[in-house]
Amino acid sequence: MAFKPEKPSIHGETPDSLGARLAEAGHPRYRAGQVLAWLYPKRAESAEVMTNLPSDLRSWLADNYDFNSAEVLGKKTASDVTQKLLQRLRDGSLIETVIIRAPMEGVGQDKSRRTICISTQVGCAYGCKFCASGLEGWKRDLSVGEIVSQLVQVCRIEDQTDPTRAAEGLASFDNIVVMGMGEPLANYDNLLAALKTVNAAWGFGFGARRVTISTSGVVPKILKLAEEDLGFRLAISLHGATNEVREQIMPVNRKYPLEQLIPAAKIFARTHGRMLTLEFILIEDINDSLDQARKLAAIARDLHAHVNLIPYNTVEGLPWVRPSITRQDRFVKEVRALGVTATLRREKGHDIDAACGQLRLQKEKTLGADPSPPAAA
């Protein structure tokens, strides 16, 4: 299902595509570079502020492009300073973007390291049993502009408390993780185009090594990504160290079992020379046994991968339970004892419904069937 907005997002353009549209409208192609310089280093929210452009060009940009393809409906900030943004798109669809802060000693919260978790779809078709994103199924893919716009919104918000990076024309975040709502590799073309904008010198100029794409295990797209000369990192949402356990909570495993997934991951790692990350959500009595820990460690050693353990974030209406601290510690100790580097990620946003899709579901219930999309600007 595709959504065609009244005006396309300006953040979906490249120098070539914008230059071509400008030329068709009778404006010089070189103006494209000036426009893009306003969009990313200067975070322009409208054409009106682009004061080095002729007034007729500013009017044309305002008439033909959307500078704000989403509005922030609300923010929730957790006790651990994780912040979730709920954004409404032009068709009324809701998506989530999460800011995960890692405070650094001596600099304060406002100057902490920031990892941004972005969405790529409205809903999700993959139906992972522990995830809120897919409870109402897949609605549509996000456009290139809608993906990039999430990062622009984050910059505008973060610049209010820490304007230093904006003054230097730098992105107001330190890492990007593509593991919000949706399966990123199911929206492959738009995702890659958006990340090229993030990486490009005319965009955010953001290093590819600091971008991680997380996938539930779509094997053909992992192999396709391995052929790309881009340098992004890859994380596999494993969540089960055997087919039996994985199929219980991840339907994608029926199509792409571990016997296909692990070789594909090896090819990606070998081609790009980057350490993989294995994401493993811990659910009590499902995958938190010592046997699963040992099998997970064996897979990680085979892939030379880092393991990221994530205690389950409770989702209303789902039967799963977060393991006790004792069980979490026992699991991570077993993995580490078997020679694998592993991080146990304690709560991030548990008190603000930071599991993927939670806040969106709650808001949709309160808004009802007609979420009244914002008017195009």
Active site residues: 96, 356
Question: CA Rg, the chain, in Å?
Answer: 21
Q: How far is the C-alpha of 107 from the C-alpha of 104, rounded, in Å?
A: 6
Q: Mention every residue, 6+ apart, whose C-beta is less than 8 A from residue 17.
A: none
Q: Helix, strand or coil for residue 214?
A: strand
SS (H, E, C) 292-313: HHHHHHHHHHHHCCEEEEEECC
Nearest to 21 by CA among 70, 68, 69, 57: 57
Ranges of H-type helices in the chain: 15-24, 31-39, 55-64, 144-161, 164-167, 188-199, 219-226, 243-249, 252-255, 258-272, 290-303, 325-337, 358-367
Nearest to 62 by CA among 95, 88, 25, 33: 25
Q: At what angle do helices 290-303 and 258-272 cross, to 10 degrees?
A: 40
The DSSP symbol for 47 reads G
Q: What are phi and psi of 48, to 5 degrees?
A: -60, -30
Residue written as token pair 């594909």 = 264
